[in-house]
Structure 1
């Protein structure tokens, strides 16, 4: 098991919303981050069959191209009534222009076709797999999940992706109605446990692979 020391770090994403969340989570740990988009790195084809496989593909491609350690996230929404879809294809449902309003409408249409109206038929989970890759090819991964149900219409304008549609278990507001601080929790100097899938994965990453 390898640990990552503070310093220059590539965040292997071209997604501005995801970059904001990762930068916020990395804030207390002394990293100087730059995104793959800022470096002009191409997005590798995500040919993996799991979140972990795709996270590794992205992290290794960025680490090799930039000759720096790289952190990537592969995340998505797994809906029980849809046998885990959209899953690793969550971003693809938004199309090349990343229109998640359209993706949420498409998702709701699929649920309506199945008659999935009651909350117990609309269960889902957000999944985040994080990978750190080093230029020598070494890689470490962690995984975080959060259970919840899907609401319609979407609520809130915070977050990104499917956040306005996702009501985390035990809460009355969607991720789209929560601030970054509420979703992340568990950061340095706080006693609040992490709530979001990405924050839970990041807490595991910090514990196992960041710093001394």
Structure 2
């Protein structure tokens, strides 16, 4: 999910291969758009009315694309242009009109035309996810296989790491306006400081 136009949530619906726009004031879907793909991975806000969604299509050849979408003030959604990434995109966030595209072993920094500006190496093997701090200076990454979370600068310097037996297989992350980090894992939803130290467990998952 991603906030767009202040009052709307853009939701990537993989089961139905759509992006839905939900009005947070009423809880109703104002519009949705069907996408010609096999998987819808993630969605991020680029600016006030623009979002980007990552897609994968299996036929005729594997294709991995980013699609820009525009959401109007009334909550209507329309298609923009396509950016081809050529590799599976697990997650994507926008920082100052640049797209930080997370693959399984690196982050590609793209401009809005798809030109590669930078490559950040980060060796993650499965289900990684990415978030960014409110000041746009720190990237947070989950590492599913090593059950850890890392914070790093935009210049790829690791500044903080959280790893403990209580955090199991993290596979979702976000940051609030105050800089607190929230991580979804098999053990529950964890709240961390901006320096990746544990604050509390907000919810615990029941064992299987």
Give TM-score, length-normalised by structure 1.
Answer: 0.29
More strand per residue: 2
Q: Which has the higher contact order (CA 8 A, sep 6+)?
A: 1
More helix per residue: 1
Give TM-score, length-normalised by structure 2.
Answer: 0.29
